[in-house]
Structures are given as C-alpha cells and as structure tokens.
Copies of this chain bind each other. A is one copy, B any other.
C-alpha cells in the first residue's frame, strides 16, 4: 500500500532512524548513505506521513491565516503576502525546513467560526497563527479569543495580529500590527472639510467591529474639531462591508439629508456602492457630491472619477506579519506596531457647489 519510512529504509539497507535523519537533515549522515537513502525515497515515491511526523516530533508545519472575508481583496492581499513570506513551498531557501503549509481560513466575520478555526488549528498544533482584520467587540467573544490565543501561545504556537488592534493583555501574542484607522479616518474627513464640505454623510461598516469604530471615531474627531456636532447619528448609516450595503445606505442617507455634499464610506467597496447610488439619483461625482473610501484597493484608482481614499499598505503589512509568524523578523518594541494610513486625494472629491 502506501510507502512508509520502513520501506525506504529496507530498500536503502539502513535503519528507519537513518532515513528520518536524512530527511530532516538534523544529524550527521555520511554522504554515501544519504545518497542511497535519497535514491530509495525517489524510487519509491515516498511521501512523509505528516500526522505521524507531527505526532512524534510534537510540532507541525501548519500555519493558519484567519481572514474575515476571503472574497474581499482587502484580506486576499494581506493573506497572499503573508503566505508568500511563510514560504509554503519553494521559498528558494536551501532545502526543506521552511516547508510550512500556510493555509487561510475564512471566518466570514463570524465570531463562532473564528473560535472554531482557532480550536481546529490548536488541534493541529499549528506552528503559527495570523489573525487579520478587525475584531468583533463583544466582550465575551474577546475574552474567549484571548483565552484561546493564550492557550495556543503556550502550546508553542506563534500568534500574530495583522490589521487588528492589540489584545487587552498582549502577553499571548508575538506581535500586533495595527492599522491607524482612526488617524486615516480623521485625515480623510479633514480633507473634505478643507475643501469646504460641512454636511458630510458617513456610511459605516458593521457595528461592534474595531475597524468600523476606529474609522468612524476618526471621522467624528475631525467633525468635532471643525465644530460640527449634533448630527452624528442622523448622518451615519451602518451596514456590512459590501457594495450592496453602500448602495442602500447611501440612498438612505440622501433621504435623511438631501443636502449632503460628501459621502465618506467605510471602505472602497462600500464607496463603489455609494457612487452607484449617487449616480442613480442623477447626481454627479464630484460636482454634486464628493465620495471617499478607505483601503485603496487596486480597483479604486480605476473608478471614474478615481476614488479619493486612504491607503493602507496591505501587502507590506501582510508580508511583515508572515515574517513575524515565522520568526524571521524581530517584533517591534512592546510587540505593537502601528501602521500608517496615507491619504490619497483623487478625483472623486472636490469643493462643494456654492
């Protein structure tokens, strides 16, 4: 049936121990012996039994990357970058060793699924786990996640957060890379204010998520600094991070306050939906209404007009998270790094009509 280490050993006329050592390259083996073993491996088309190996060695080469929505490039870009660094196959390096199996797990934004995936990864004795994207703010869930991560950590799993705020008690985590969502949100709205906008609608993400909250807080900070208070609730509509939601929410916004001169969206995808809604209402962008997004996903520059947004270095952050997970990079001081968000002013924002 399946070829085992013993079969290889027999064919190479050595002991199983020797084959194992050749394969792991962590023990001196005479060149001639190694050669013989390698040939046998080849001849028999031998493939190591992962579970057996993990069991005996008490380690595994699985690395999990958790994302909220795999169909969203926001996560795809980070996950892809991380996976590249984690190496999976062909990281060019010498030989085996770095051969980690980087896998991405799609939680769909559901807390339960997030937890279950963590358990599954714990089962597999994952070498590392990278959590991407904003966290759900339910205290019970946060506690559960923290507890889980702590358990993972002291089972030897390296935990890295990417684009997610640090844990209350950061102990369990190798590093946390947090995006400056609040600062980005603030600068974006400041930009709009400086253009002369005063009635600014905000299409927010789902409630109870750190990303949503931070971006919104940045926005309100700027509004408040400009002395614009009182209308927060009326000019904010919440919804999921998708196009449809942006469309619907913007329609609602226009209903509540026909005089808005600018709409800020929770992210670029939502901004796309918002733009569509504005156009369907017969309004022009940016002449009648300015629109702004967040993230600077690849398609944003191709919107017409090109979308003003806040650029997050998703690829770089993902790659860095990958390296941290692999221990290829030393964690930032305190284990926490804030990733800057850069305002990208493009054609979708302009001064309001007078």
A contact set with B: CB distance below 8 Å: 2, 45, 47-55, 60-62, 64, 69-73, 75-77, 79-80, 83-84, 88-90, 99, 101-106, 108, 110, 112-113, 115-117, 119-125, 151, 155, 242-243, 269, 272-273, 275-276, 279, 298-299, 301-304
Contacts and interface: CB of A to CB of B under 8 A. Distances in A.
Nearest to A306: B276
Given A51-B55, A119-B47, A155 B106 contact: no
Copies of this chain held together in the complex: 2
A49 B303 contact: no
A59 B77 CA distance: 32
30 contacts: A2-B155, A47-B119, A50-B54, A50-B60, A50-B120, A50-B123, A50-B125, A51-B51, A51-B54, A52-B55, A61-B120, A69-B76, A69-B80, A70-B80, A71-B76, A73-B73, A80-B106, A80-B108, A83-B106, A88-B116, A88-B120, A89-B113, A89-B117, A90-B110, A99-B120, A101-B121, A102-B105, A104-B104, A104-B106, A279-B304
Contacts of A103: 64, 101, 103-105
Contacts of A90: 110, 112-113, 116
B89 A120 contact: yes
A151 B44 CA distance: 12
B84 A76 contact: no
A276 B347 CA distance: 14
A121 B49 CA distance: 10
Nearest to A106: B83
A51 B106 contact: no
Contact of A104 (B70, B115, B279): B70
Contacts of A47: 119, 122-123, 151
A301 to B, nearest CB: 8
Nearest to A112: B90
B272 A302 contact: yes
A123 B48 contact: yes
Contact of A49 (B49, B53, B125): B125
B116 A89 contact: yes
A220 to B, nearest CB: 27
A80 B68 CA distance: 10
Contacts of A71: 73, 76-77, 79-80
A275 B302 contact: yes
B101 A84 contact: no
Given A76-B76, A243-B302, 14 more contacts: A47-B123, A49-B125, A51-B55, A53-B123, A55-B55, A61-B120, A71-B79, A90-B116, A101-B117, A101-B124, A103-B104, A279-B304, A299-B299, A303-B303
